[in-house]
């Protein structure tokens, strides 16, 4: 049954990614993209519910299963405000990434999660769940930073199509990016603490996660503005891309 839920979710995310790309030239496609995001997330939610029901413990305790959960968190965070017309450009960054990672999850067996790992459910929820939720938030922050840089360049070049796309203001993108990091960093902190309590030894992936934590903590303290803030959000995302993959391979494989 999991496979029958997985494929509609992946196809809906793929449709949303294509529609968002077409929305740049044909704004009427934005609604089709929005419904693709919603339909895909509903199907993926059903998939996770089925996995949780039939699992003996935490059902996403493998590398591929955790990628599945990570995509659900990213798209769920995007749905909070991303489907509003003025944020549809953000979907152009989020949805292709979500579809690609979900496909990678499937290739690794993420649709067949059974929760047969070596760690306790409580540890996996507190450590893996919180860390993945934090990484999902930081992924959205990076997308906001990328949209900020694109929009700023478009304004400097006086591209006429920008007004037609109804993009959010630069100040709105900057504020929303900062708030997203402010929500994600405490989740990352609690998830890291849970991991250290269970396993005190350091490894390269934990070091990468610590560096990412330090970068985002400095980001919140310094509260940079404009292009500098956007570049820091993207730099942090480079760490986010490497940290969860290695961290899951180290602790869950």
Residues 155 and 121: their CA atoms lie apart, in Å, by 49
Residues 252 and 246: their CA atoms lie apart, in Å, by 10
The closest alpha carbon to 203, from 135, 249, 236, belongs to: 249
In the predicted model, what is the mean pLDDT of residues 10-38? Answer: 87
Residues 76 and 9: their CA atoms lie apart, in Å, by 13
Comparing 139 with 245, the larger pLDDT belongs to 139
What is the pLDDT confidence band of residue 84, given thresholds at 50, 70 and 90? confident
Average pLDDT, the chain: 83
Quick check: 116 pLDDT over 60?
A: no
pLDDT > 70 in the chain, percent: 85
Comparing 160 with 74, the larger pLDDT belongs to 74
Quick check: 38 pLDDT over 80?
A: yes
Quick check: 36 pLDDT over 80?
A: yes
What is the pLDDT confidence band of residue 163, given thresholds at 50, 70 and 90? low
Q: Are 208 and 131 spatial neighbours (Cβ–Cβ below 8 Å)?
A: no
What is the predicted pLDDT for the residue at 252?
45
- Could you state, in order of their start, the residue ranges of all structural domains in the chain? 1-116, 118-253
Comparing 147 with 24, the larger pLDDT belongs to 147
What is the predicted pLDDT for the residue at 251?
45
CA separation, residue 207 to residues 184, 195, 220 (Å):
18, 13, 20
Of the listed ranges 57-61, 68-72, 173-177, the least confidently predicted one is: 57-61
């Amino acid at each position: 049954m999991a496979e029958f839920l997985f494929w509609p979710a992946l196809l809906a995310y793929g449709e949303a990614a294509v529609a968002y790309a077409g929305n740049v030239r044909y704004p009427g496609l934005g609604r089709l993209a929005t419904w693709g995001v919603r339909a895909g997330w509903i199907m993926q939610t059903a998939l996770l519910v089925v996995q949780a029901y039939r699992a003996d413990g935490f059902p996403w305790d493998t590398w591929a299963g955790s990628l599945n959960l990570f995509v659900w968190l990213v798209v769920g965070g995007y749905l909070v405000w991303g489907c509003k017309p003025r944020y549809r450009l953000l979907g152009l960054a989020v949805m292709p990434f979500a579809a690609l990672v979900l496909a990678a999850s499937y290739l690794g067996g993420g649709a067949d999660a059974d929760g047969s790992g070596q760690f306790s459910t409580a540890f996996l929820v507190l450590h893996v769940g919180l860390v993945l939720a934090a990484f999902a938030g930081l992924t959205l922050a990076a997308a906001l930073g990328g949209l900020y840089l694109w929009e700023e360049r478009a304004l400097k070049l006086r591209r006429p199509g920008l007004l037609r796309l109804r993009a959010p203001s630069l100040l709105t993108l900057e504020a929303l990016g900062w708030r997203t990091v402010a929500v994600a960093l405490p989740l990352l902190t609690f998830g890291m603490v849970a991991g250290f309590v269970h396993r005190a030894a350091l490894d390269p992936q934990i070091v990468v996660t610590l560096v990412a934590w330090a970068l985002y903590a400095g980001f919140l303290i310094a509260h940079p503005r404009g292009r500098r803030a956007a570049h820091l959000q993207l730099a942090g995302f480079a760490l986010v891309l490497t940290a969860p993959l290695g961290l899951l391979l180290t602790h869950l494989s």
